[in-house]
Amino acid sequence: MTAKQTIQLTVNGRAYEETVEVRMTLADFLRDELNLTGTHLGCEHGICGACTILFDGEAVRSCLLLAVQADGANLMTVEGLAQGEGLHPLQRAFHENHALQCGFCTPGFLMTAVAFLQETPSPTEAQLREAISGNICRCTGYAPIVQAILQARRGG
Ramachandran region, residue 122 (left: φ > 0; alpha: ψ -120 to 50; beta: rest): beta
Check if the beta carbon of residue 71 is closer than 8 Å to that of residue 56: no
- Minimal distance, residue 145 CB to other proteins, in Å: 15
- Minimal distance, residue 44 CB to other proteins, in Å: 5
Closest CA to 139 of 96, 116, 109, 117: 109
131 binds other proteins (CB under 8 A): yes
37 binds other proteins (CB under 8 A): no
28 binds other proteins (CB under 8 A): yes
130 binds other proteins (CB under 8 A): yes
25 binds other proteins (CB under 8 A): yes
Distance between CA 60 and CA 128 in Å, rounded?
A: 17
Write out the binding residues for other proteins, residues 59-88 only, by CB under 8 A: 59-61, 63-66, 68-69
Alpha-carbon dihedral of residues 12, 17, 18, 24, nearest 10 degrees? 50
149 binds other proteins (CB under 8 A): no
Q: Residue 118 contacts by C-beta under 8 Å, 6 or more apart in sequence?
A: 57
Interface with other proteins (CB under 8 A): 1, 3, 5, 21-25, 28, 44-46, 49, 52, 55, 58-61, 63-66, 68-69, 112, 115-116, 129-131, 133-134
